[in-house]
Each structure stands twice: as C-alpha cells, then as structure tokens.
Amino acid sequence: MQKFIKNQFSLILVLIIASLFFAVTAGFNNVLHEEDYVKWGSPDETANYYFTKNYALSGKLRVFEPANIISEEIVRPRSMRSDHGWLKPVSFLGIIIYYGFLASLFGIAIIPYITPFLAAMGIVFFFLWIRRLFSERIALISSALLASFPVYVYYSVRSMFHNVLFLVFLIIFAYFISLSLSKKYSLREKFLEYKLKANHYLGLLWPFLAGIFLGGAIAARTSELIWLLPTLFIAYLFYFKRIGIRVFLVICGVALAYLPIAYYNQLFFGSFIFGGYSEMNNSIVQISQAGGQFVSSTFSGSLAYFNDMWNILRDNIFYFGYQPRQSLEMFNNYVIKMFPWLFITTALGGFIFFLGAARKFRRWRLVYILSWFILSSILVLYYGSWEFFDNPDPSRYTIGNSYTRYWLPLYLLALPLMSLAIVFLSRLFSGYFGRPSLIGKYDRARLYLNNGLQMLILGLFLAISWLFVFFGSEEGLSHMYYNHIFDKQEIERVLENTKEDSIIITQYHDKQLFPERKVVVALFDHNSTNETLAKLVDHYPIYYYNFYFPEADFNYLNDRRLAEFGLNIELISRHGPFGLYRLISVDNENEN
C-alpha cells in the first residue's frame, strides 16, 4: 500500500483536488437550488433543465401547449420553439438526453449535480492526458489550475449549460485517443501494477471509447464542429499511420453516441443533422449544396465555381458577421484583460515550449501547438465576430458573457503552458536544474526551495482565480447567490397574485416564472403580439410583469396603444422597480 501511495502520489493529489472541486461546486448548487425552487440564470439553462426533467419523468422531449393553437406560437419562454403547439428545445439535445437518462435511473434531484461531477472527472482525465504528453509535475500543476480556473468553476456551477459537458467529453476523448496512439497495444499507465493479458483487445477498445466520448462532445455542442473538424483532421494527418484502420473504431463510437440525438433531430427538425437553430440549419443546407456543386464543377474540369464556393462558406459559417477587428477586441477583453495572469504566464510557457521543440523535435509538440493555434484562431474569429449582451449593461465585460464559455477550449490548452512557466520560474529563482537521484547536499536544499516556490506561485494563482470567480466579477458566484435570493422573493409574490392557469407577459423574468406559469416574452410594442393577446384574453387570465409604468406611459397604453385592440391594463401590485398588471378585455370589463 505504501509503495502504491508513493508511486501514485500525484494521482492521489489530483483525486483529492477533484473531490474538493466537486464538493464546492455541487455544494454551491445545493445552497442555490431548493427542493421547491430550482431556477436558473439564463433561458438556455431553464430550457435544458425543463426538458431534461421531462425526459427523465416521461421519456418525451416535447410538451404540448394548448394555448399556442390560438396564439401564433408565442406562449413559450426563450430558448424554446413551438411547432403546432408542441414546445421543443432550441439548443443541442445532447445534455437533455444524457442527463435525462441518468436522472431516470437515479432521480431528478441529481440533475443540478451532474455537471459538477463530470467536471471533477474532467480534472482527473486532464491530468492523465497531460501526463502522457508533458510530465507528471506539469500534469499535476495543470490539473490544479483547471480546478480553480474561473470559467471552468463558474460554468460547472451553472450546470445546465452544455459547455463544460462538451469540454469534459473532449478531454476524455483526447486521453483515450492518446492511448490508441501508443506504439504497442498496452495501457502503460502507472496506476496499474500488473500487465493485462488482453492488451491487444484492450488496445482496440481505446479508439472505440475515444469515439464514444467524441460523439458525446459533438452531441453536446454540434456547432463546435466548425473548429473541431479541421483540428482533428490536422492531427490525423500526423498520426494516420499510427492509428491505421482503428480510425473506423473511432467513427463507430461517434456514430453510436450520436445515434439518439440523430433520431430526435430527424423527428423534430426534419434531418438528423439539423437542430433547433434555424440559422445553423440554413447554413448546413447552403454549405452542402455549395459543396456538391463545387465537386461536380471540379470533375468537369472547371474551377470557376471556386470563388463562389468560398463566398458561400464565408457567408454561412460567419452568418452573424465576420469582424476580425472586433474579434481581436473581444480577445483583449476576455483573455488579456480578464485573465492577465493566464496570458502572461502562457506567453512565457509558450516560449519555453518552442525552445524545447527546437532543441529536440517531437511530433506531439507540433501537433499540440498547431491544434491550439487552429482552434483558437477559429474560436476567436467565429465567436468574436458576434455581439453578445448577456449582461444587461453591454459595456461591461464579465465572466457571465458568452465569450468565456465559448472559449473554454482555448483557455484549457493554455494551462499546460502556464504550468511550464511556473516550473521554469521556480527553477530559475531556486537555481535547481538537477535530478533528485544525482543531487548532493546543497542541491537538495535547492530542490526543497524549488518545490516550495512552485507551491507558492501555484497557491498565488489559485487564490487569484478563486477570489475572481467568487467576488472579482459583477456576475461572480457571490453576485449570483444574492440575485437568486432576491429573484425568489420577487417571484413568490408574483405567483401569489396570479392564477395557476394564467399567462404572464414579461421581458426578462420568463426563466423564473416558467413552468409554474405560462409565459409570453414580449412588450406591447408590436401590433401582431397585441392582436394575439386580444384572442388569448378570452381564454386565459393574462398578466404583465415588467418595469413599473409611469403614469403618462400607463395612460398612453390604456387610451391609445392597447385600446386599439380592445384591451386595458390595471395595476395589481408593485415590487420595487417592477409592476404586476392584469390585462383585461374592454368588452368584458364593460359587461361587468
């Protein structure tokens, strides 16, 4: 036992780190979500949780909303769509199906804790993967950095986003594919003290498992194929001889993991490659058609279609715009300014990495840095060209804005380089560059000094990261907690003053009000919406909950804007800056 602990001391430390990570993130969720009040901070999380819970309880991914038969499909919260009265998820189905299946086995109470558990597992597999590439010391430091990295912690707590699920599956894929690329069909992992007789067959199992987790990652966030495919293709070019025909085992694993998602995509959206995002579906169609025309044009000996092909790809891949200057600005805001300690140490570690590659060429070094460059460039240009306003104040750059979660792979691959910098700095200041088996009396002192400096530098970065994720951002965890408490008190008053079968019109509170109340996300500024509300008011009690109307705006709505559609509003109660109003049909009011 002592020998095992000595040999596997780093792995044991990582298991302890992962356990503490799970305790903190799952514990925060336990405090945040009470048994009778499980609410989320975004429409995407709300929709994912609602459909996951429904899938676990009923085995169904859609829910019928009868009010949408007469409402032009507007009775629904954000991040859901309604087709002929059936509410369906807009987001990718992977998290719903996978989490829903687990919840059907272990109970729906586990749903908020699945992502923290998987994130903890991701820390362990990250250590195992980086150990195979770099060294045990670099892997240990990298794992500790991942366990404290603000974005990883933050979106493990916000556990109904699928970014951490995607990243963890990708890490496990990377580990198993690295096993598949071993020169021999062998585990070669230090935590196994014996040799397995079935090494050959297990060697065939690793690529299949790699495919399973790659398929799971694709199911979790299919849109990431935009950078995942070119990155994997480049890596495959370097290792196609090594992996050989086992690549078909990877493909089989991908197909098996993606099969249930393909089935529901076909059922709900008309194609196994389509999803709830209509823009992405249109892009897929345009790119497929352009590809077919390009191939036929090439075989006919004409390359005239090449320029058109490029324009179609550019317009459909960057369908929210292509803004390189804005992308660099977002990189500056969400990498350099938000995490300066990561940027500076990664730059130093990258320089050291290149020096090592120049001194002794290793194929994996080139693949690692090339893959990181490709995926980072695509992620920055693709998502950086978009404009996200997750924060009500668009001028603020906070951890809750979507750029941080979309750029998680970029941050992740920077951590081993950051670890290289930590090791280099500790050795530079301690003067220790030897090996433990060759050192003398004074070298041993330098070794202790080196280890102490490494712990000190790492501890400093861990403290900075944890303080940032809890208190250093306007959307940090402490801010999230107090907002959650305030929202609960606010929504409880709204529910007390509205009927159970009512519809509430709101702009931002749909994620708190649904599913206890039907919701319409709207204002009174569209004639089509007001016309639909005039139809609904005869069948359902309808309320409006949003910012309190000043007297002039209140009179304008009743005398002109809503009066045109035979509607009126009356104040029910005021909750701070918000007001709850009842929508009334003028004809019914006159009759009464």
Q: CA separation (Å) from 537 to 65, 521, 530, 584?
A: 16, 16, 10, 7
Q: Is 242 helix (H, G, I), strand (E, B) or coil?
A: helix
Residue 307 has pLDDT above 80, yes or no: no
- Please determine, for residue 11, whether its predicted confidence score (pLDDT) is greater than 70: yes
Tokens standing for residue 393: 């104040």
pLDDT for res 246 = 87
Segment among 92-106, 215-229, 355-369, 561-575 with least mean pLDDT: 355-369
What confidence score (pLDDT) does residue 195 get?
Answer: 46
Q: How far lies 134's CA from each of 70, 368, 478, in Å? A: 62, 11, 36
Q: Which of 433, 457, 474 is the last residue of a domain?
A: 474
Residue 300 lies in a domain: no
Q: Which residues contact 371 (CB under 8 A, 6 or more apart)?
A: 231, 234, 235, 413
Percent of all residues in the chain with a pLDDT value above 90, rounded to a whole number: 55
Of 459, 474, 489, which residue sits at a domain end?
A: 474
Q: Is residue 90 pLDDT above 80, yes or no?
A: yes
State the average pLDDT over residues 295-316.
53
Number of domains in the chain: 2
**In the chain, what percentage of residues exceed pLDDT 70?**
82
- Domain stop point among 451, 474, 497: 474
How much is the pLDDT for 36?
A: 79
Q: 456 with 510, same domain?
A: no
pLDDT score at 22: 97
Distances, alpha carbon 191 to alpha carbons 7, 195, 293, 481, in Å: 8, 11, 53, 40
Distance CA 331, CA 155 (A): 19
Q: Which pLDDT band holds residue 440 (cuts at 50, 70, 90)?
A: low
The torsion angles phi and psi of 117, rounded to 5 degrees, stand at -65, -45
Residue in 51, 73, 78, 77 with CA at minimum distance from that of residue 62: 51
pLDDT tens, 471-488? 877 788 998 898 888 888
* pLDDT number for residue 9: 83
For residue 544, which of 560, 563, 567 has the smallest C-alpha distance? 567
- Answer whether residue 1 shows pLDDT above 70: no
Closest CA to 279 of 335, 324, 223: 223
Q: Are residues 463 and 367 in the same domain?
A: yes
C-alpha dihedral, 63 to 68 to 69 to 73, nearest 10° = -110
Strands 86-89 and 63-64: antiparallel
Lowest mean per-residue pLDDT among 197-201, 398-402, 519-523: 197-201
pLDDT of residue 320: 62
Q: Which two tokens stand for residue 61?
A: 């991914």
- Residue 475 confidence (pLDDT): 81
More confident residue, 181 or 188: 181
Instruction: Identify whether residues 553 and 440 lie together within a single domain.
Output: no
User: Smallest Cα–Cα separation from 293: which of 280, 312, 265?
Assistant: 312
Return mean pLDDT, the chain: 85
Instruction: Looking at the structure, tell me whether residues 374 and 487 fall in a common domain.
Output: no
Listing DSSP states for 29-70 in one string gives HHHH-BTTB---SSHHHHHHHHHHHHHHHHS-S-EE-GGGGT
**Assigned token pair, 520:** 């319409």
Predicted structure pTM score: 0.89
Whether residue 478 contacts residue 564, with contact meaning beta carbons closer than 8 Å, is answered with: no
Task: Give residue 191's Cα distance to chain centre.
Answer: 31
How high is the pLDDT of residue 436?
53
- If you average pLDDT over residues 128-140, what whole number do you get? 93
Whether 416 has a pLDDT exceeding 50, the answer reads yes
Q: Domain check: are 324 and 388 in the same one?
A: yes
pLDDT tens figures, 244-293 = 888 999 999 999 999 999 888 888 776 666 655 555 555 545 544 444 45
State how far the Cα of 500 lies from the Cα of 420, in Å rounded to an integer.
Answer: 58
Q: Could you give the CA distance from residue 84 to residue 66 in angstroms, rounded to a whole number?
A: 9
Which amino acid belongs to residue 400? Answer: G
> Range of 362's domain?
320-474
pLDDT at residue 288, as a whole number: 47
pLDDT the model gives residue 183: 53
Does residue 182 or residue 145 have the better pLDDT?
145
Give the model's confidence band at 20: pLDDT under 50 very low, under 70 low, under 90 confident, else very high: very high
Contact 262, 398 (CB under 8 A): no
When mean pLDDT is compared across 130-144, 154-168, 231-245, the lowest value belongs to: 231-245
Q: What is the pLDDT of residue 189?
A: 44
Instruction: Determine, yes or no, domain membership for 514.
Output: yes
Of the chain, the end-to-end C-alpha distance in Å amounts to 83
Looking at the structure, do residues 340 and 464 belong to the same domain, yes or no?
yes
Please tell me the predicted confidence (pLDDT) of residue 430.
77
Gap between the Cα atoms of 19 and 17, Å rounded? 5
In a domain, 216, yes or no: no
- Tell me the two tokens of residue 234: 């480049």
Min mean pLDDT across 32-41, 117-126, 365-374, 522-531 is at 32-41
Q: How far apart are CA 170 and CA 210, in angstroms?
A: 9
Is residue 137 included in any domain, yes or no?
Answer: no
- Asked if 561 and 105 count as a contact pair (C-beta separation under 8 A), the reply is no
By the 8 A CB rule, do 540 and 501 touch? yes
- With respect to residue 100, please indicate whether it lies within any of the assigned structural domains: no
Residue 578: strand pairing partners: 547, 575
Residues 6+ apart with CB under 8 A from 529: 74, 520, 522, 523
Q: Is residue 508 part of a domain?
A: yes
Percentage helix, strand, coil for the chain under 3-state DSSP, each rounded to 5 = 70, 5, 25
Q: Does the pLDDT at position 442 exceed 70?
A: no
- Please indicate, yes or no, whether residues 490 and 560 belong to a single structural domain of this protein: yes
CB atoms within 10 A of CB 232: 17
Res 526 pLDDT > 70: yes
Q: State residue 196's pLDDT score.
A: 45
Q: Is residue 194 very low, low, confident or very high in pLDDT (cuts 50, 70, 90)? A: very low
Look at residue 25 and tell me if it is in a domain.
no
In a domain, 388, yes or no: yes
